[in-house]
Chains A and B, each alone.
Chain A
Amino acid sequence: MQYLWRAYKLVKNQWGRRALAGLGMLGDSIGLIIIPLITRDVFDSFSSGAPLSESLATVRIGALYLLAIAVVRGFLVYMEIYYQEGTGSYISHDLRKILFKRVLYLPFSFFDTRKTGDLMSILTQDVDAVRDGTGFVIMLIFVNIITFVGVSAAMLMLHPWLTLVVFASFPFLACLAYWYSRKIGPLYQKLQEQSGRVHTTAQENISGIRVVKAFTRQKEEQEKFSGENRMFYELSMKIARLSTFAHPSMDLLGTVSSMIALAAGGILVIRGEITLGTMIAFTNFANTLIWPVRSVGWLSEMFQRAIAGAGRIYQVVDAKDWLEVPADPVVKAVEGEIAFDNVSFSYANGEEAVTSFSLRIPKGSTVCLLGMTGSGKTTIANLLARFYDPTEGSITIDGIDIRSWDLECLRSQIGFVFQDNFLFSKSIRDNITMGREVDESAIQQAIEAAQASRFIAELPQGLDTVVGERGIGLSGGERQRIAIARAILQGPPILIFDDSSASLDMRTEAHLQQALDQLYQNRTVLVIAQRVSTAQNADQIVVMDSGRIVEQGTHEELLAKGGVYAELYRIQSENMSLLVEAEVNPRDQSGA
């Protein structure tokens, strides 16, 4: 609840808006109270026994009042809806803004424990729930309360006992509405989940249709889909059974109260206790109150959803910054000497990824980390860029602990080529510059050096071609070369190159090597690799397994040692040794 209030307070200096919304609300409710009272006067004039001209005047004045009310109330209700819904819109806008900014700066450990989908649902569904909760839901709650209190007061003044009789069915109606909303809410949620499963089943089947057909699995797939479809059906039926019972029953209870007003009111009129107009006003009042009473259910449901959503939103907003900010951050140019000193790191789930890792990387040299998937190579890179802080030990750059550096200053001097070569759905130019103002010639140089200029030139709009999920598809090799151009353009003294995904075809690999040579010049480079061919030329090779260093040294040293690296080399060069046997490569011959 306090979170929802926090969300509501986001809209600062909007008192004008809210005052107008409040005024509108008041007008809305007052109108609902006055109209039956006018009706009463009109009907009373029919049997008042007063002179015809007087009665006629009462009727006309009543009609004129209504005319005025219709117009004024129209304006007020418009104001009420516009300003209250508008407030909701502003709140969701501000929440999205704050959330997105927060997400952008959150440390990596935050993303490890949360799936993209979960975060997305906070950023979309929960924000919408809070928008509704602070928008029309709160508005309707207030309008309903004012209307209910006002109408009840008017009724009590007209005739207390009749009021109580008319109210008799309301507790039942409110309870039924509340019970129904509590029941139907979770069911709808389940239905949505089940609909997701139907969707996933279809999607898996259709994208894997070749596999399905090759394994002649059509029948089983059909059964699987049919099963999910049946679950969906059963949930839908459950909802239908509930709602087809609840709605007519609520209608019944509503009609009953106006029927009671008619019957009891009629009896009172016959007895001469009240006038015909009062009786008709009562039936109108009863009708007016049905809606506020019925809405108790779904309004409370929506309000609770908003509270829960606000809670989840502020979980993200209040998420702790795990990275400590130094008191006096170092801001200066990086030279490029790196040292890992006894570094250990465990992920939030307790899984130890790196154990007692020590390594010195001299300025300007290239180090290659080699190892299987899951051996801890990528974690080392993540630690160096301070995406995480080590659990134990320290990492220094130019002799200064990276925790003492200013984070922005540090990262701006470390370049990355990430494993997945992620591209945004923007132009290639934007993907390379990443929003910085850069000379056209610098971009040209970067793509030239990354061996990317040729394929970019062949694209329909060249550098301005939109790529990524919503743009045109590029091959793995092309994506990697764009990522390399991105790193070259940044021109950092330290470069981290995660090359462990490799599904490039043979020719592309050859091109790439030239791009890489460009990239490695005059930089301290940390390469993460799986292929010995990438490692060979490094100044230092570090072989990792289960988060520990297994071997370390130059290519020659490690070969001579005859350990894991030598074995790896043997396996991988088998691919090439046949070329030596066939004596097709003069370079090999001379080297042998």
Chain B
Amino acid sequence: MTNQEPNQREGKLRDLLILVPYVKPHQAKLWSAVALMIVSSLVSIALPMFMREAVDTHIMAHDLRGLVSLIAIAFALIIVMTVANILRGRLMAKMGQDSIRTLRDDLFAYMQKLPVQFFDKIPVGKLITRLTSDVDALRDLVGNAIVAMVIDSLRLVGFLVLMFWLDWRLTVITLLISPILVYAMTFLTSRIRKAEDQVREQASLVNANLQESISGIKVIQGFQAEEHFHEQFQVENHSLLQAGMKAIATYAFFWPTIDLAWILSIAAIFLFGGQWVLDGTTTPGILVAFIAYTDQFFGPLRSLSQAYRIIQRALAGAVRIKRIMTTETEVNKNLKPMPKIIGRVEFQNVTFGYDPGEIVLHDISFTAEPGQTVALVGHTGAGKTSIINLLCRFYDPIEGRIAVDGLNIQEHDLESYRRQIGLVLQEPFLFSGTLRDNIRFGAPQATDEQIWDALKTVGLAETFIKNRITLDTILTERGANFSTGQRQLLSFARALISDPRILILDEATAHVDTLTEQKVQQALQKLLAGRTSFVIAHRLSTIRSADLIIVISDGHILEKGTHEELLALKGEYWQLCHSQNIVPVS
């Protein structure tokens, strides 16, 4: 694998620059949010000062009017703070969600332009993670962490400054508690995180075990292996319990530690501050303010450590997203469009390999005349699918050229070329959505009438009418609510509607049962008529009627010709035919 998952720490701060174009349009919101945040931070820093003021200058001095007006001011400030917080929250949410929605759209759009080669190298799951969790990590950063970091640092500094200003001795004593907080925030949280990771890992093992057992329940029950599976599950389940208890043992330390720090700091304030109040070197109001500050100290610390984690994740996500968005696309705007294809396909000395070091097709040459059907025959891994990959221009040859109607396909616009190609694969790849949308996949303007015609042609119309399936019937994920045969026939209808000039069938009938296959064969004849077609199949009946049969082995063309010509050769093709005839015909 050339594409390795980057390490969490690999991300550099400048990778976050990919966010700039997305955040820029929302600059005004960002700055207003920052301004609002400064306002609310200032209020929250100032509030304990009001308490001191209330106690020392009004209550102790029996100044009722002063107290009432002071509280009135405080009320006004709190309302200002609340409004500022609500507005700031809205602005940030809007900015974060807006910019990240655009980023996600763009990333998906970019992926659509990447060559198939790219998708062959990276597992689907990882690419989906790019579109989901990685993008989400960036959203957390934009919508939350950046701003939270500013505000929380500001608050911490504000607290400290005011505390020193009120009474530096008390501040020093209060800060003596900070090692406990630091211990909880760093050492303890990292241990908790590790323990939780282990729980998560073990939980995913248990879940995988569950999932598999449910999917394979028939085998388990059929082979009387219930006890065995139960025992094995219990082992995993027990490990999960142990991992969980271990995590709890660590986790249970966290809140008591924070609590301990908090109560200890109050005790210290009383012990020393109390004496100083009695000395007259400090005031009761200052003690009140200090208690309020220590109470609020923990919040910003905690959210700062969260922000740190969000930044770590966002960095890792940014690197991976950037890597995708800097991969070269297959789109080239400068090429002329492919004219309407008549159907002459030539492979001229084509050599190809997925990795330059490993050639899978050697010097392949053949010509298909317009309207001809070409059958590709050979064992798994012989190179049949590679020929099709080249013909669809999913890949480009290393040497040689592929010409359609005498035009090199590499020198023409990809989209206008592919628009004229139809592809039916072994796995039909239907999409969740209505039946209609699935069939007119390649021809969005097709009418319902045309769709029903196509369904009739592939022999599905009758069954569908009988079972009250309409064009609005929803296909569940990958068309799971249709049988394999029906799915394959649907993919035929899909190809038929798009009316391609060149048609490619890659083992399209492999999953279809024999009786259905008979229907498929008839549909196939209609599908193949009047188009240049390439067929990969195991069934002889499909191959036999081809105008040209190409036998491939280890990336070389061994034999070329019609069915009769090749049988007469008594070579590889003859052998293959022989091997399929397992049971003698009486």
Q: Shortest CB–CB separation between residue B467 and chain A, in angstroms? A: 11
Q: Give the complex CA separation of A386 and B203 in angstroms.
A: 34
Identify which of B128, B256, B563 contacts A203 (C-beta below 8 A).
Answer: B128
Asked if A267 and B208 make an inter-chain contact with CB atoms under 8 angstroms apart, the answer reads no
Q: Are A104 and B229 in contact, with the CB atoms below 8 A?
A: yes
Nearest to A486 among chain B residues (CB) is B223
9-residue interface stretch from B8-16, B109-117, B354-362, B366-374: B109-117
CB-CB < 8 A to B264: which residues of A?
A: 66-67, 70
Known: A266-B58, A584-B567. A216 touches B270 (CB 8 A): no
A78 and B101 contacting across the interface, CB-CB below 8 Å: no
Q: A116-B215, A202-B131, A574-B541 are in contact. Are A225 and B245 (CB under 8 A)?
A: no
Contacts of A69 in B (CB 8 A): 263
Expressed in whole angstroms, the minimum distance between the Cβ of B542 and any Cβ of chain A is 9
User: Mask for A195-212, Cβ within 8 A of B = 1, else 0?
Assistant: 100111111111111111
A414: chain B residues within 8 A (beta carbon): 222
Contacts A62-B270, A85-B248, A434-B225 given; does A206 touch B127 at CB 8 Å: yes
As a 0/1 sequence over residues 560 to 586 of chain B, the CB contacts with chain A under 8 angstroms (1 = contact) are 000100010010001011111111111
Establish whether residues A222 and B223, one from each chain, have CB atoms under 8 Å apart when the complex forms. Answer: no
Contact A533 B582 (CB under 8 A): yes
With A42-B270, A210-B392 known as contacts, the answer to whether A575 contacts B444 (CB < 8 A) is no
- Judge if A142 is at the interface, Cβ distance under 8 Å: no
- Indicate whether B252 reaches chain A with its CB closer than 8 angstroms: yes
Contact with B along A561-592 (1 / 0, CB 8 A): 00000001001111111111010110110011
Cα–Cα, bound, A161→B448 (Å): 76
- Once the chains bind, are B221 and A387 in contact (CB under 8 Å)? yes
Contacts of B278 in A (CB 8 A): 45-46, 52, 55-56, 59
Residues of A within 8 A of B225 (CB): 434-436
Complex: A437 Cα to B577 Cα, angstroms: 43
Inter-chain CA distance A580–B540, complex, in Å, is 13
* CB of A332 closer than 8 Å to a CB of B: no
Say how far B291's CB is from chain A's closest CB, in angstroms: 8
Assess whether B160 is interfacial by the CB under 8 Å rule: no
- A237 and B580 within 8 A (CB): no
A104 and B222 in contact, given A86-B248, A210-B423, A240-B97 (Cβ under 8 angstroms): no
Do the beta carbons of A475 and B124 come within 8 Å of each other?
Answer: no
Shortest distance in angstroms between A372's beta carbon and chain B's nearest beta carbon? 5
A229 to B136, CA, bound (A): 12
Give the contacting residue for A577; candidates B86, B518, B585; CB below 8 A: B585
Q: When chains A and B are docked, how far (Å) is the Cα of A18 from the Cα of B388?
A: 67
Contact A100 B230 (CB under 8 A): yes
* Contact code string B232-250 (vs A, CB < 8 Å = 1, else 0): 1110011011001100110
Q: How near does chain B come to A26, taking the closest CB pair, in angstroms?
A: 15
Against B, the Cβ 8 Å flags (1 = close, 0 = not) of A177-202 are: 00000000000000000010011111
Partner of A42, one of B109, B274, B544: B274
List of A residues within 8 angstroms of B4 by Cβ: none
- Mark the stretch among A117-125, A144-152, A443-451 that contacts chain B: A117-125
Q: Is the CB of A506 within 8 A of B579?
A: yes
Binds B, one of A89-97, A352-360, A397-405: A89-97
Question: How far does the alpha carbon of A216 sit from the alpha carbon of B330 in the complex, in Å?
Answer: 13
With A74-B259, A116-B211, A206-B111 as known contacts, state yes or no: A217 contacts B60, CB within 8 Å.
no
Also in contact, A505 and B379, with CB within 8 A (given A104-B213, A209-B119, A435-B225): yes
CB contact under 8 A between A210 and B116, given known A42-B270, A373-B516: yes
Choice from A251, A255, A283, A530 contacting B515 with Cβ under 8 Å: A530
Contact segment of B21-29, B61-69, B401-409, B525-533:
B61-69
Q: Are B108 and A220 in contact (CB under 8 A)?
A: no
Beta-carbon contacts of B257-274 to A below 8 Å, as 1s and 0s? 101100110111011001
Nearest chain B residue, comparing its CB with the CB of A226: B105
Q: Which residues between 239 and 277 of chain A lie within 8 Å of chain B, taking CB atoms?
A: 240-241, 243-245, 247-249, 251-252, 255-256, 259, 262-263, 266-267, 269-270, 276
Which of B111, B213, B268 sits near A100, CB closer than 8 Å?
B213
Is B274 in contact with A59, judged by CB distance below 8 angstroms? yes
- Using known A-B contacts A42-B270, A85-B252, A248-B89, determine if residue A530 contacts B82 with beta carbons closer than 8 Å: no
B287 proximity list for chain A (CB < 8 A): 43
Q: Flag if A225 contacts B108 (CB, 8 Å).
A: yes
Q: Chain A residues with Cβ under 8 A from B540's Cβ?
A: 575-576, 578
Of residues 509 through 565 on chain A, the ones whose CB sits less than 8 Å from some CB of chain B are 509-510, 513, 530-533, 536-537
A480 to chain B, nearest CB (A): 13
Specify which of B132, B227, B252, B513 is in contact with A202 (CB 8 Å cutoff).
B132
Q: How far is the CB of B227 from chain A (nearest CB, A)?
A: 8
Minimum distance in angstroms from A533 CB to a CB of chain B: 4
A475 to chain B, nearest CB (A): 7
Contact with A along B444-469 (1 / 0, CB 8 A): 10000000000000000000000000
Cross-interface CB contact of A270 among B62, B244, B418, cutoff 8 Å: B62
Interface SS, A side: helix
**B509 CB, min distance to chain A CBs, angstroms:** 9
- The distance from the CB of B247 to the nearest CB of chain A, in whole angstroms, is 9
Complex: chain A residue closest to B79, CB-CB: A252
Residue pair A217, B586 in contact (C-beta under 8 Å): no
Which residues from A are CB-within-8-Å of B211? 116, 120
Contact partner of B224 among A371, A408, A584, CB < 8 A? A408
B514 at the interface (CB under 8 A from A): yes
Assembled-state Cα–Cα distance A494/B264 (Å): 76
Known A70-B264, A96-B237, A579-B578; contact A416-B222, beta-carbon cutoff 8 A: yes
Give, as a whole number of angstroms, the nearest-CB distance from B115 to chain A. 9
The answer to whether A247 and B89 touch across the interface, beta carbons within 8 angstroms, is yes
Query: How many residues of chain A get a CB closer than 8 Å to chain B's CBs?
Result: 167
A71 & B212 in contact (Cβ 8 Å cutoff): no
Cβ–Cβ contact B394 & A213, under 8 A: yes
Whole-angstrom distance between the alpha carbons of A273 and B86 in the complex?
A: 39
Asked if A164 CB lies within 8 Å of chain B CBs, one says no
Please give, as numbers and ranges, the residues of chain B lying within 8 Å of A266 by CB-CB distance: 54-55, 58-59, 67, 71
Interface pair B270/A59, CB less than 8 Å apart:
yes
* B445 CB to nearest chain A CB (Å): 12
Q: A244-B93, A575-B539, A584-B578 are in contact. Are A216 and B511 (CB under 8 A)?
A: no
Q: Are A575 and B516 in contact (CB under 8 A)?
A: no
Min distance, Cβ B563 to any Cβ of chain A, angstroms: 7
A244-B93, A251-B85, A537-B583 known; A77 vs B256 contact (CB < 8 Å): yes
**Binary A-proximity of B133-147 (CB < 8 A = 1, otherwise 0):** 000000000000000
Are B229 and A252 neighbours in the complex by a CB distance under 8 Å? no
Look across to chain A and name the residue whose beta carbon is closest to the beta carbon of B250: A82
Which residue of chain A has its CB nearest to the CB of B388?
A: A210
User: Does A111 sit within 8 A of B, measured CB to CB?
Assistant: yes
Contact with A along B345-357 (1 / 0, CB 8 A): 0000000000000
Return chain A residues, CB-CB under 8 Å to B71. 259, 262-263, 266
Would you call B432 an interface residue if the criterion is a C-beta within 8 Å of the partner chain's C-beta atoms?
yes
A43 closest partner in B (C-beta): B284
Whether the pair B583, A56 counts as a contact (CB closer than 8 A) is no
Q: Which of A317-365 contact B (CB under 8 A)?
A: none
Q: Which of A63, A82, A408, A530 contacts B270 (CB 8 A)?
A: A63
Instruction: Given A424-B216, A571-B518, A577-B585, output 20 extra A-B contacts at Cβ < 8 Å.
Output: A97-B234, A100-B210, A120-B207, A124-B203, A202-B132, A204-B478, A211-B423, A215-B423, A247-B89, A267-B67, A418-B218, A436-B228, A506-B579, A568-B515, A575-B580, A576-B580, A578-B544, A579-B581, A588-B585, A591-B586
Which A-B residue pairs are the 6 nearest by beta carbons? A244-B89, A435-B228, A59-B274, A240-B93, A208-B429, A215-B442
A-B contact pairs, 30 of them (CB 8 A): A63-B267, A63-B268, A64-B267, A78-B256, A85-B251, A86-B248, A89-B241, A106-B217, A111-B214, A119-B214, A124-B210, A204-B429, A204-B478, A211-B425, A214-B423, A225-B108, A248-B86, A251-B82, A251-B85, A252-B78, A266-B71, A416-B218, A422-B218, A424-B216, A425-B208, A435-B229, A507-B579, A530-B515, A536-B583, A585-B578
